[in-house]
Amino acid sequence: MSRKLTDSAKAKRKKKKNRKIEKAEDLPNHIKHSMIEGLYRIGWDAPKIIKETGLGKSTVYDNLKRFEKRGTCTPANDEATKLRATAWAKKYGSSSAAKKFKVDQELVKEWMKEKHCGF
């Protein structure tokens, strides 16, 4: 004789069955960056990330190289980040800007030189 399932158990099973599973390579870039960074932080190495997620080698290795250099996988070279970081650096210093925007302090200094802000 089988057990009788409760309504909540039935609802959970139905929800799990209807959940859409997406392939890693079809995800938006910002999610890929976070996923690679998270897996790397919990101890996965690059070959394991590539094998388990199905992401390309260049994607994974480029993200991990960026993580080693800057401490985060998200790209920081967009113009909006540069503008905010240089403005923050003018007011509070390059070290503070580097921490706030999660970029290398030397990168902030380079941006300041590009903008001819003077340092």
108 plus 84 within the same structural domain: yes
Determine the pLDDT at residue 6: 92
Distance CA 85, CA 106 (A): 12
The verdict on residue 119 lying in a domain is no
Distance CA 97, CA 66 (A): 18
- Residue 4: CB atoms within 10 A of its CB come to 6
68 plus 47 within the same structural domain: yes
Q: What is the DSSP letter of 26?
A: G
pLDDT per residue of the chain (119 residues) written in tens, 0 to 9: 678 889 999 999 999 989 888 888 888 887 888 899 899 999 999 999 999 998 999 989 998 988 887 777 766 567 778 888 889 999 999 899 888 887 778 888 888 888 765 54
Please report the sign of the dihedral spanned by the C-alpha atoms of residue 76, residue 82, residue 83, residue 87: positive
69 plus 107 within the same structural domain: no
Determine the pLDDT at residue 83: 86
The verdict on residue 17 lying in a domain is no
39 plus 68 within the same structural domain: yes
Determine the pLDDT at residue 51: 93
